[in-house]
A and B are shown apart, each in its own frame.
Chain A
Amino acid sequence: MISLRSPFGWVLRLMAVLTFIYLLGPLFVIVAASFSDTGYLAFPPQGLSLRWYRQALGDVRYLNGFFVSLRLAGTVAVLSLLIGTAAAVALTRFRFPGRALLEAIFLSPLVLPGLVLAVALTLFYAAHPVAPPGLPRLVISHLLVGVPLVLRVMLPVLKRVDPALEEAAQNLGASPLHAFFLVTLPALKPGLFAAAALAFIFSFDEVEMALFLGSARDAPLTVVLYGAAQMQMDPTVAAVSAMLILLALILMVAQQAYANR
């Protein structure tokens, strides 16, 4: 262990502080700018006002976008959880040829840039309109990343659950299905919550696929925000962004608090 009081320890401390500034700086700038009393985005903020928040909350486009995003992210979170957990159970409980390969394939969408996925999906839907445009298409597309996210969280959680637990439940008279729901599922609870939160936040914050595949009528909040940022750069954009950051923060804290119970 390196002592934090040694000269090298001080360098480490400095690095940590710089990293935090680098990571959190943009968030700080946008949150600060949202309180500015000017008609344009300004940093450092001039004056202090909540009027951009009032304006954002009163704007029907933002409100509509928020509810579209909520529906989208909620659906994606639930479906990702169902599909991802089922896949994780299969990958950890059963031995079959090609298991490791399948696991790698399942996780691969996580390493693709969002734009690549968005373009590929646009071309795909143009050739094969398998789902109606708008939200349904967007849900299916977001599942491509949502399911791997859930899988990523649930695989290690499932690997830590003693397989003898289900056997014990069966030995005591529970059918395999009962054993799963009575014993394995409760053991997975904290993981399930974290996985769902991750999938929800991803879908809620996603821009590229939403831009390419969403319809103008059902535009998610991120798309509305993107449009507004291009048209008029007033602090409303910053206010909405600040509220998005707050939402993500609340979800992360809730999930951590739940896991540490």
Chain B
Amino acid sequence: MTTASPELVLEGLARRYGNTTAVERMDLAVKPGELVALLGPSGCGKTTTLRMVAGFVEPSEGRILLRGRDITTMPPHRRDTGMVFQSYALFPHLTVAENIAFGLQRRGVPKPEAAERVARMVALLQLQGLEKRLPKQLSGGQQQRVAVGRALVINPAVVLLDEPFSNLDALLREGTRIELRRLQTELGLTTLFVTHDQAEAMAISDRIAVMNKGRLEQLGTPREVYDRPATRFVASFIGRANLFVSADGRTSEDGIALDIPTPGTWLLRPEKVTLDQAPATGPNSVAGTVEVVSFLGTGAQAVLRLPGGRALLIEGPASLADLRPGASATARWTPQDLTLIPGEH
């Protein structure tokens, strides 16, 4: 997978509306069979990027290459993409089978072959028995699977997913995303996946492109963006973060004693912090007052209010929830637990 040439390439892709920039000169290469998530808050340009690949938004600048072919100015219906829309956009007057067969008919696939491919997709997505139903006679989860089937049955060069799980309830969402990931890996589908949900992106992506205000902030594996975030935005958007800004490498701006090699902005993940009742012992430990504890089942979370006013977030074993709010406690960590955020000075 690492040696193959990329399937989809975005080169300096930008979109501006008048004076506002929706997407700023973005470079991205998606390898064959790879699932890349475009992750960011609403308005970050992730959907605009996806729509540029599909051909519904014209780039102001840059190029899009699909399997080595420049498709930048190609109309949507000539591009070889299969998109799953957030609203699913199932054709309301067509049955499940007719919806799935739509793309095959447009491509002039002979009827017997089309019927066979539709049947295979129906079986793959466990939609047997629903072939003759209309979309409005299906549950949300079934509609979602029809939308996925309709996009996959044409074997597109790239699959585009626009928040495909956002209309499902929480319980269904997790099962569906695992199912989709399994399908994507088995069929070796090159996929671009738009989401605002960092947990969703972490769970099923090979790599995550974190976007903010039209800019690509970081591109990396879920581990990379979590463990070594490139910017303060990435650090706080992916997972939870305690950030220390230190000008001298000795203390943070709000007076917490640190022991770090260089000045800069440092990240301390909540799960790296331990809490005990012994007094503080110099750098990398700080005493405070327990403010809130929440039991999360698999673990617990605590907020420690420090003398400087900062709230330190701590995640640990369920026993953390035994602490009483108002009790004094000391947070500790080792210097290796601190990660320098390179994008900040």
**Contact surface of A with B, Cβ cutoff 8 Å:** 162, 164-165, 167-176, 178-179, 182-183, 186-187, 189
Give 20 A-B contacts (CB < 8 Å), ordered by A residue: A162-B87, A165-B91, A167-B56, A167-B85, A167-B89, A168-B83, A168-B90, A169-B91, A169-B102, A170-B55, A170-B76, A171-B76, A172-B103, A172-B154, A173-B106, A176-B75, A176-B77, A178-B77, A183-B91, A186-B93
Best-surrounded residue of A170, A173, A178, A189 (most CB of chain B within 10 A):
A173
Q: What residues of B have a CB within 8 angstroms of the CB of A162 in the complex? A: 87, 89
Q: What residues of B have a CB within 8 angstroms of the CB of A178 in the complex? A: 77, 106
The residue from A168, A176, A186, A189 contacting B89, defined by CB atoms under 8 A apart: A168
Q: What residues of B have a CB within 8 angstroms of the CB of A186 in the complex? A: 91, 93
We find that the number of chain B residues with CB closer than 8 angstroms to chain A is 24
Closest to B108 in A: A173
B150 CB-CB contact with A under 8 Å? yes
Asked if B87 and A171 make an inter-chain contact with CB atoms under 8 angstroms apart, the answer reads: no
Asked if B77 and A173 make an inter-chain contact with CB atoms under 8 angstroms apart, the answer reads: yes
Question: Given A164-B85, A168-B83, A171-B77, are A187 and B93 neighbors across the interface (CB < 8 Å)?
Answer: yes
Interface SS of chain B: loop
Asked if B107 and A173 make an inter-chain contact with CB atoms under 8 angstroms apart, the answer reads: yes
B92 CB-CB contact with A under 8 Å? yes
Asked if B91 and A168 make an inter-chain contact with CB atoms under 8 angstroms apart, the answer reads: yes
**A182 to B105 Cα, complex, angstroms:** 12
Asked if B76 and A165 make an inter-chain contact with CB atoms under 8 angstroms apart, the answer reads: no
**A250 to B78 Cα, complex, angstroms:** 47
Q: 8 closest pairs, A vs B, by CB? A: A173-B106, A172-B103, A164-B89, A168-B89, A170-B76, A186-B93, A171-B83, A170-B77
Nearest-CB distance from B90 to chain A (Å)? 8
Q: What residues of B have a CB within 8 angstroms of the CB of A165 in the complex? A: 89, 91-92
Closest to A167 in B: B56
Closest to A165 in B: B89
Asked if A167 and B76 make an inter-chain contact with CB atoms under 8 angstroms apart, the answer reads: yes
Closest to B51 in A: A167
Q: What residues of A have a CB within 8 angstroms of the CB of B103 in the complex? A: 172-173
The residue from B82, B86, B93 contacting A171, defined by CB atoms under 8 A apart: B82
**A172 to B102 Cα, complex, angstroms:** 7
**A172 to B107 Cα, complex, angstroms:** 8
Contact with A along B117-140 (1 / 0, CB 8 A): 000000000000000000000000
**A176 to B55 Cα, complex, angstroms:** 12
B81 CB-CB contact with A under 8 Å? yes
B54 CB-CB contact with A under 8 Å? yes
Q: What residues of B have a CB within 8 angstroms of the CB of A183 in the complex? A: 91
**A178 to B78 Cα, complex, angstroms:** 13
**A178 to B107 Cα, complex, angstroms:** 13
**A176 to B106 Cα, complex, angstroms:** 12
* Additional pairs, 10, CB under 8 Å, beyond known A162-B89, A168-B83, A175-B75: A167-B76, A168-B91, A170-B75, A170-B77, A171-B83, A172-B82, A172-B103, A173-B107, A173-B154, A174-B102
Q: What residues of B have a CB within 8 angstroms of the CB of A169 in the complex? A: 91, 102
Q: What residues of B have a CB within 8 angstroms of the CB of A173 in the complex? A: 77, 103, 106-107, 154
